[in-house]
Structure 1
């Protein structure tokens, strides 16, 4: 009779847990399975928008301990658990036992004692269980419920030919036969809860389960008020306008309160895995729409303002449009000393088409180091000059600006370019073509029809747009875009033209060196010099010790804050050019030169000249030589304190090596304490040599910041304004952006 009663009780529990009506399962009858491990703990304050981050599948509890039945349960869970990064599913199994037939502690005398024993199913078959943790609460729980049906959650594994349930956690009855949500409860909340009891250590696996049971019970007890408050917060703080509602809810936007309430209910108590997945995906979409709404609404308002302007942005010459700009591009390129590649021609046509679209162009020209970006934007500038417009080309440093200026003098002879730098002033403040640093805005005003920003990752948004008038076109150029720019491109808010390939064949070996590798690294440098090749050594500062006094900053503009804070243990020992120049000169007397922003331009030019002429073997420098410097004999680049530099800067420095082709080396020396995230960023350079892929991985590591056209935050994970504990993936951001653009701009889209 006892066995029949137990069988009926197990069947009743499983049947009740699996029954579903309108997405909600009927809970077991009171007393079937106790709400476990919550005695003595007070309620946890509910947060209406604190939603589960993970779920565990308890839909098919193991009721038979026959080896075949257990193997089938293990195989089923392994086959059906989705491999989706947006929804992490636990790999544990739910086991229903009629009783515990054996219970004992084990372990060496004087050491921590684990608990093990045997569970019995309704047919009397036994299943061993074991935990290596001292668990007096679990032991008392088993002892107090001897002979009663138990629900346990643990990992089923084979040990010495038999199945064992490891680290069993008592399961609250309402989740047996369901999908159990796992909430991201703050560690301090867990500590505060467990401080009230003495039978579970905070680091025990039971601690998390115990507090999860408390929070889950609180949600169930106050379901109505929790759902009502959550819906109100979503509508008030996130989906504030009809466009956002339609983008987030689709057809359900007609009755948003009912739709959101049901969605939140399914998050807290999903009937099955499919429902949990669908609810999680919709919640993440709602969060992404809420986060992007203000930015895309601002873009729409700006678009309307521009379209109402009486004067449209300057367009190309009338005959340029013939034959899809092909003949015009050929005409522009007649003065070049080389033929344009197919990618360069296509990029030129895309830029000219955007200029003629009737609204200010916002385009990014992406091309790896040496792909010919300068020739492309020079031809775009020439087209604007021939249409009677003014053009400003913004360059991050004087050396590169002088190099580009020399190119433009021969490539655009009909409109001689004016060079502008800190001390170099143009002959005329209204010159049609100006090339220079950020001094352009002070010396030439901001009345330009086209602004071209070369190496855009070296400038902040304010610096890039300071030269722009209300109707100006903007073309940004880079090999490795900043995370925010990469995110804008992925979201479709920024137009992109891409150049692929490199004109020369070269292979660069990149390696990370730690402090204990210093002697070996120095030996490699000496071997390179002895072999007749040249070495570039980059330091993060020019003077010691204050990095903040350096005007040739160690990293890209958007990475400056990260460089200042990423390696706190190193911030007081920032290595500098002036500090270590004598050390290098002593090792290689007469063969070392120095370049940094604190010297006169003539001194830096002389250092570069000596390297190019072969009169020096080693150049000690800051990132002033990061871009545009061409030293054909350079075979090795050593970046000191590489952890203080961003991926874009490191890739640009690496691009100085083996410019004429062949084999080269890039050494990333990271002395002192290095954070794991910084090592991850350096490893990207080791694994990848493609600038586009580096930018993509950098975006994944650091996030896209404020990915709106008016945003300033250039890195960091996108803030989820509604569900702050959930991370918005790139895929969901893309979908949210497309939906919002369709609602605000219609079928024409943002770019039309």
Structure 2
């Protein structure tokens, strides 16, 4: 419940209010311009007083809690049986009501017992007809100074911000720091006049002050809710404007890498096949970005098999050829090794490109090799100057801090992904990052996706036999590598069972295997000697099994949309038909089924990421933010999480219709 007005009086009586402000430090509020930018959650309406007659149950239907002003007609007495309780009688001048307060922890017994006959009391409770008599059980006593007001209720967090702390601070700020807050808020939009801010937020309010007063000092609950809605729109606009400002970087001459067209032509001529139109366009966009004094911030998005690796290789080789450093970050060692092998196969064994993993003992940078590796690069390159080109392959495996640690202010930054994570989707949507989309596929393939429940298990085994009979391969993905308590879900235990059914045809790959074991298992599967791959999601990124026609994900509900789409991309890499099964051995929540249905309905990775963002939220859109999904937060407003629909709406710079 909200604090009594004594706290409000205490706030105003303090010379500078500093003790109030100190209570909000753990919420991130450090200056008096900030408390009024904390949004209320809801309102407690003490302005509407009901008579007992108005609150009478109608047709045996009890109304909700009402606010009553009553006179005590019989003072409280304590009854011990059957449960200890206080009982008193009060009247509104027309009807009388029995008031029952059970004596439990937290009940202020002395206050109730102190009321004398004729004393006026204000309470909130539910009026009931109990055996033909009116009764209110367990009411809340309301401070007289709250009556007639609408009180905002603010967030409280255990060990962060105490109940009533924001309320106290906003009372003080309304009286002493309102203009300072408005000036700070307007300045946060970087030069936009107040009228333009309101217009872009699609608000009809004449000023920011009107919105803040409506939210924090409303005369009615409706006015308060309109104030909250206005603050949410202002917060959404601040998020969108912040995302746009991320693109408005200052020129950094050191980031310029001018790659001549002749060099790109020399590299593409080494390929045994022509580039697709999308690949050529993407390389051109990357080259143009790197020639600009504004450091590149680009996403290279394309489904698995669309050829994202080639634009990365060509950009990295061109950068290296000009004497600059190129670094490519991969999610696992297998993919790093595969990248190096493919690069040497396509552009010559003498290509200076090396794999850097946790097992790499010595790193020689004298010859300026292209560095391809896992997060082991984080420690190996400490103290070195930032690379001129920094690529992250499949960014959902990297935290924001990991990516920032390797890149520098002058680095040109390229993300390659089949399914951008929600934060990246939002940054693209709102202009903070450029995007190159690869839609053309070198081969034509058709993959159908099915959700399979426990009762349909037999379908999967029948399907497996058909795939093997046709000469194809099949992969089964399990979510747990080795767990004694959940053996059936274990990759290791499952591989044993599959081997019993198909002797000599089963290969196993999981993240806890030694590097040499992994390589041997992958080579056995790639050669086609083994037809059934029992794997963890290590297969999801980069590993290619040429004859893979079908893939089954066991406990698909445990995987994110992006991971599942990556797994699906492993199927039918050389073209033709393929099958992808989401196997659910147990019942899942409706929202989980909704998320999995996205994969059935959408095969395009970029569209899928947009739909996923609508479900999961964008995460934080300010620079260096760590939250990469979930509702978005504003850097200016507090106690508000914004949905993707609110962020989208903030991009429409039109006033609301009257």
- Tell me the TM-score normalized by structure 1: 0.60
Query: d(CA) in 1 for partners of 2:450 and 2:370?
Result: 42
Q: Distance in 2 between matches of 1:737 and 1:613?
A: 51
Q: How does 1:206-605 map to 2 (within 5 A)?
A: 240=184, 242-244=186-188, 250-251=194-195, 259-263=207-211, 282-291=230-239, 303-304=249-250, 307=252, 312-317=254-259, 320=260, 325=261, 329-413=264-348, 415-425=351-361, 428-430=364-366, 431-445=368-382, 446-447=384-385, 448-544=387-483, 575-605=489-519
In the alignment, structure 1 segments of 5+ residues that lack a partner are 1-41, 55-113, 117-133, 141-192, 202-210, 212-216, 547-571, 740-752
The farther-off stretch of 489-498 and 594-603 is: 594-603
**Cα displacement (A) at 1:329:** 3.7
Q: Which residue of 1 aligns with 2:591?
A: 677
Contact 1:418 1:427 in 2 (8 A): no
Is 1:248–1:286's contact at 8 Å kept on the other side of the alignment?
no
Distance (Å, rounded) in 2 between the aligned partners of 1:689 and 1:53: 41
User: 1:483·1:695 contact (CA, 8 Å) conserved in 2?
Assistant: yes
Larger CA deviation: 492-501 vs 604-613: 604-613
Worse overlay, 423-432 or 234-243: 234-243
Higher helix share: 1
Q: How far is 1:299 from its partner?
A: 7.9
Alpha carbons of structure 1 residues 442 and 222: separation in structure 2 relative to 1, 3 Å? closer
**CA deviation digits over 1:476-512, x for unaligned, max 9?**
1111011111121122111211111322222222122
Q: Return the alpha-carbon distance in structure 1 between the equivalents of residues 176 and 241 of structure 2.
A: 18
Distance in 2, Cα, partners of 1:296 & 1:396: 29
Map residues 570-649 of structure 1 onto 2, 5 A cutoff.
Answer: 575-649=489-563
Cα distance change, pair 461–246 in 1 and its aligned pair in 2 (3 A): closer
Deviation per residue, 1:311-362 (Å, 9 max, x gap) = 6124124xx2xxxx5x654343111211112211111111111111113222
Q: Secondary structure at the match of 1:453?
A: strand
CA distance in 2 between counterparts of 1:234 and 1:668 reads 55
The alpha-carbon deviation at position 409 of structure 1 amounts to: 1.6
Per the alignment, do residues 200 and 525 of structure 1 end up closer, same or farther by CA in structure 2, a change over 3 Å counting?
Answer: farther
Could you tell me which of 185, 199, 202 is aligned with 2:128?
A: 199
CA distance 1:495–1:231, shift in 2 (3 Å): farther
Describe the SS at the equivalent of 2:269. Answer: helix
Over 3 Å counting, the alpha-carbon distance change for 1:342 and 1:232 in structure 2 is: farther
> SS of the counterpart of 2:614?
helix
CA distance in structure 1 between the aligned counterparts of 2:175 and 2:550, rounded to whole angstroms: 59
Q: 1:89-168 to 2 correspondence within 5 Å?
A: 134-137=60-63
Compared CA separation, residues 420 and 585, structure 1 to 2 (3 A): same
> Structure 2: 5+ residue runs without aligned partners?
9-34, 44-56, 67-121, 131-139, 141-145, 153-167, 654-658
Q: Cα offset for 1:221?
A: 6.0
Mapped contact 2:422–2:619 kept (Cα < 8 A): yes
Q: Are the aligned partners of 1:231 and 1:260 in contact in 2 as well (CA < 8 Å)?
A: no
Residues 539, 640 of structure 1: 8 Å contact kept: yes
Shift of 1:279: 7.5
Q: Which string of whole-angstrom CA distances, capped at 9 and with x for unpartnered residues, describes residues 59-79 of structure 1?
A: xxxxxxxxxxxxxxxxxxxxx
**3-state SS, counterpart of residue 663 of structure 1:** strand
> What is the count of residue pairs matched by the alignment?
525
1:695 is aligned to 609
SS of the aligned residue for 2:414 comes to strand
Matched, 1:713 2:627: yes
Query: What's the counterpart of residue 728 of structure 1?
Result: 642
CA distance in structure 2 between the aligned counterparts of 1:229 and 1:410, rounded to whole angstroms: 67
Return the TM-score normalized by structure 2.
0.67
CA deviation vs aligned residue, 1:197-221 (integer Å, no higher than 9, x gap): 25399xxxxxxxxx9xxxxx97866
Q: 1:488 to 1:723 in 2, by over 3 A?
A: same
Is the CA contact 1:238–1:291 (under 8 Å) kept in the aligned structure 2?
no
- Cα distance in 1 for partners of 2:400, 2:559 equals 19
- Contact 1:135/1:200 (8 A) holds in 2: no
Q: Give the conservation status (yes or no) of the 8 Å contact 2:276–2:442.
A: no
